[in-house]
């Protein structure tokens, strides 16, 4: 069985982190975002993953070569020379996706984090006998999204309504699809949208079915949602395999700590914190709702909340970093500095307070 992951473009919403790495390689809960998906696909028997990409394919492939061997799964790239939207990449990768088996293939958006109930999706797809299955998730504010209107009992999709003014339903496209190879015959090799062009045509023929995603879902392509996604992910980990979470007198709530990280005395860590490989957290530090990536040093009595600290950065003694501060790679915040929502580009030193959310070039 095969799968295509829509990797796409420049990851501008997650800058400055994506100035150092392509977005799918940015760490989420201590491993690259895309690895969560590849591991889930491997677990249900997918043997080949195709990455649809138009930006830095060499970096991606070099990085993923290690995992290809570790996971025993083939990873290839299909490179766009121009942006092809969300459907064009399928036409471009057609030869990689089609084989003699006639089996359906998965398509995933690379920003989506969930419990990936892919096995259940295969059973759902076989059960309805249609041409395509999409995963949908319930949201509180459907007016911000494209809503999927469907038959509750069978899951048959009736239509899509983009950002509805009046309530038509609360289920939105979750960016996980299972498609028969025949769907590729509907897609031309040009910039085109699977959500706005391809799926409505399949729905009109009553061959598109939607399965409601159990568990959590989040598009983590921007900082606020990344932090929310971490909370949901760690909560799910607590229910499924709590042994992966840290415990001890310094830990509050759900926290994941790489085994190579060092935490000093008198710290209070959590809830909803990820501490990456090789990090050094000195004594008396307070961390909550944040990600501290590989190689970061947080000095004595610093406080970090609702923020993302990029690779190999330093947060000084008694510094305070909060309100969606994002530090790019190798940023150094001096002692006793306050950052209120600063977005700091890589390789900077911060010597004065950032009193309101702003970008530091």
Domain with residue 269: its CATH number is: 2.160.10.10
Tens digit of pLDDT for each residue in 183-232?
A: 888 888 888 888 888 888 998 999 999 999 888 988 888 888 899 999 99
Residue 137 bridge partners (DSSP) = 172
Instruction: Please report the pLDDT score of residue 285 as a whole number.
Output: 97
Average pLDDT, the chain: 89
324-336 pLDDT per residue, tens: 999 999 999 999 9
Domain with residue 160: its CATH number is: 3.90.550.10
Structural domain including 204 reads 2-219
Helices and strands, number each (H, E), in the chain: 7, 29
Domain boundary among 186, 219, 252: 219
Q: Clarify whether residues 146 and 211 are in a common domain.
A: yes
**What pLDDT sits at residue 333?**
96
pLDDT at 11: 66
pLDDT on residue 10 = 64
pTM reported for the whole predicted model: 0.87
Q: Which residue has the higher pLDDT, 280 or 75?
A: 280
What six digits make up the tokens of 223?
A: 């900082």
Spatial CA neighbour of 279 closest among 266, 255, 263, 290:
263
Q: Same domain, yes or no, for 104 and 37?
A: yes
Percent of the chain, pLDDT > 70?
98
Q: Are residues 143 and 31 in the same domain?
A: yes
Beta bridge partner(s), residue 282: none
Diameter over CA atoms, the chain: 64
Residues 146 and 168 in one domain: yes
Q: Say whether both 245 and 276 belong to one domain.
A: yes
φ, ψ at 155 (rounded to 5°): 85, 5
Q: Which residue from 20, 7, 23 is spatially nearest to 225, judged by alpha carbons? A: 23
Asked whether the predicted pLDDT for residue 349 surpasses 70, the reply is yes
The whole-number pLDDT of residue 227 equals 94
In-domain check, residue 255: yes
Domain membership flag for residue 226: no
- Of 219, 246, 271, the residue that ends a domain is 219
Residue 210 φ then ψ, to 5°: -120, 135
Same domain, 211 and 249: no
Task: Select the highest-mean-pLDDT range: 20-29, 41-50, 308-317.
Answer: 308-317
Of 219, 254, 280, the domain-final residue: 219
Q: Is the pLDDT of residue 164 over 90?
A: no
Identify which has the larger pLDDT, 318 or 172.
318
pLDDT digits (tens, 9 = 90+) for 229-255: 999 999 999 988 788 899 999 999 999
Any bridge partners for residue 357, and if so which? none
Q: Report the distance separating Cα 230 and Cα 84, nearest Å.
A: 30
Tell me if 225 is assigned to some domain.
no
**Residue 303's closest CA among 281, 327, 288, 320?**
320
Q: Are residues 160 and 205 in the same domain?
A: yes
* Higher-scoring residue by pLDDT: 221, 3: 3
What pLDDT was estimated at residue 64?
Answer: 76
pLDDT of residue 25: 85
Q: What's the token pair of residue 350? A: 């911060």
Q: Which pLDDT score is estimated for 129?
A: 87
What is the distance between the alpha carbons of residues 311 and 134, in angstroms, rounded to a whole number? 35
Give the confidence band of 316 by pLDDT, cuts at 50, 70, 90.
very high
Question: What DSSP assignment string belongs to 322-339?
Answer: ESS-EE-TT-EEPTT-EE
């Amino acid at each position: 069985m095969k799968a295509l992951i829509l990797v796409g473009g420049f990851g501008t919403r997650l800058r400055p982190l994506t100035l150092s790495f392509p977005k799918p390689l940015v760490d989420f809960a201590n491993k690259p975002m895309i690895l969560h998906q590849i591991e889930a696909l491997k677990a249900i028997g997918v043997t080949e993953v195709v990455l649809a990409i138009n930006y830095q394919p060499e970096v991606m492939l070099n990085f993923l070569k290690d995992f290809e061997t570790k996971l025993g799964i083939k990873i290839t790239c299909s490179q766009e020379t121009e942006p092809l939207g969300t459907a064009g990449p399928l036409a471009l990768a057609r030869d990689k996706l089609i084989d003699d088996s006639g089996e359906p293939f998965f398509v995933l958006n690379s920003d989506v984090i969930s419990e990936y109930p892919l096995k259940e999706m295969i059973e759902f797809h076989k059960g309805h006998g249609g041409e395509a299955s999409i995963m949908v998730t319930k949201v509180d504010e459907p007016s911000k999204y494209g809503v999927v209107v469907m038959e509750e009992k069978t899951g048959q999709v009736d239509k899509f309504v983009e950002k509805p003014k009046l309530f038509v339903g609360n289920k939105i496209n979750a960016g996980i699809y299972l498609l028969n190879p025949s769907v590729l015959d509907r897609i031309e090799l040009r910039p085109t949208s699977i959500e706005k062009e391809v799926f409505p045509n399949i729905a009109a023929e009553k061959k598109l079915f939607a399965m409601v995603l159990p568990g959590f879902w989040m598009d983590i392509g921007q900082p606020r949602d990344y932090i929310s996604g971490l909370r949901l992910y760690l909560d799910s980990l607590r229910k499924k395999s709590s042994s992966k979470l840290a415990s001890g007198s310094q830990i509050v709530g759900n926290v994941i700590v790489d085994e190579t990280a060092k935490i000093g005395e008198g710290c209070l860590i959590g809830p909803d914190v990820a501490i990456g490989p090789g990090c050094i957290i000195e004594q008396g530090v307070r961390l909550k709702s944040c990600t501290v990536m590989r190689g970061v040093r947080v000095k004595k009595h610093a406080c970090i909340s609702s923020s993302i600290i990029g690779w190999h950065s330093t947060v000084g003694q008694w510094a305070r970093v909060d309100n969606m501060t994002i530090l790019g790679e190798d940023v150094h915040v001096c002692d006793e500095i306050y950052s209120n929502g600063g977005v700091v580009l890589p390789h900077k030193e911060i010597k004065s307070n950032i009193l309101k959310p702003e970008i530091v070039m």
